[in-house]
């Protein structure tokens, strides 16, 4: 049985994890775009406020370079975290043993 302080701490911890988890996913998305695209696709900055992003979240700037919307970078970061977590669970479960 959960006591009241444990219950309240779990709620506060969950809210903090939601906030910091989103920030971590956005940062990881920036790193993923930087590393895997070798700088060919950059992420939206304040200079790109005039760009109109279509439904897929990619647009071209005035120089013709591909720009990814910040939300797309966060989604890629979130998918990276989920895939890494699934592989970690599979590894701990013994799925990769020979």
pTM for the predicted model, two decimal places: 0.67
Q: What are phi and psi of 49, to 5 degrees?
A: -70, -25
Whole-number pLDDT of residue 23: 81
pLDDT digits over 4-63, tens only? 887 888 788 778 777 787 787 778 878 887 888 888 888 888 888 888 888 888 999 888
- Give the span between the Cα atoms of 55 and 72, in whole angstroms: 10
- Domain assignment present for residue 54? The answer is yes
- Domain assignment present for residue 82? The answer is yes
* Average pLDDT value for residue range 61-78: 85
Residue 65 sits in which domain range? Answer: 4-92
Number of domains in the chain: 1
- Domain assignment present for residue 73? The answer is yes
- Domain assignment present for residue 34? The answer is yes
Whole-number pLDDT of residue 2: 65
User: Is pLDDT above 70 for 1?
Assistant: no
- Domain assignment present for residue 9? The answer is yes
């Amino acid at each position: 049985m959960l006591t009241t302080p444990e219950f309240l701490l779990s709620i506060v911890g969950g809210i903090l994890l939601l906030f910091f988890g989103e920030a971590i996913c956005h940062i990881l998305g920036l790193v993923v775009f930087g590393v895997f695209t070798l700088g060919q696709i950059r992420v939206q900055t304040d200079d790109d406020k005039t760009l109109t992003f279509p439904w897929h979240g990619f647009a071209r700037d005035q120089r013709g370079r591909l720009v990814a919307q910040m939300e797309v970078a966060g989604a890629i970061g979130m998918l990276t975290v989920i895939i890494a977590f699934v592989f970690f669970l599979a590894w701990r479960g013994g799925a990769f043993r020979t």
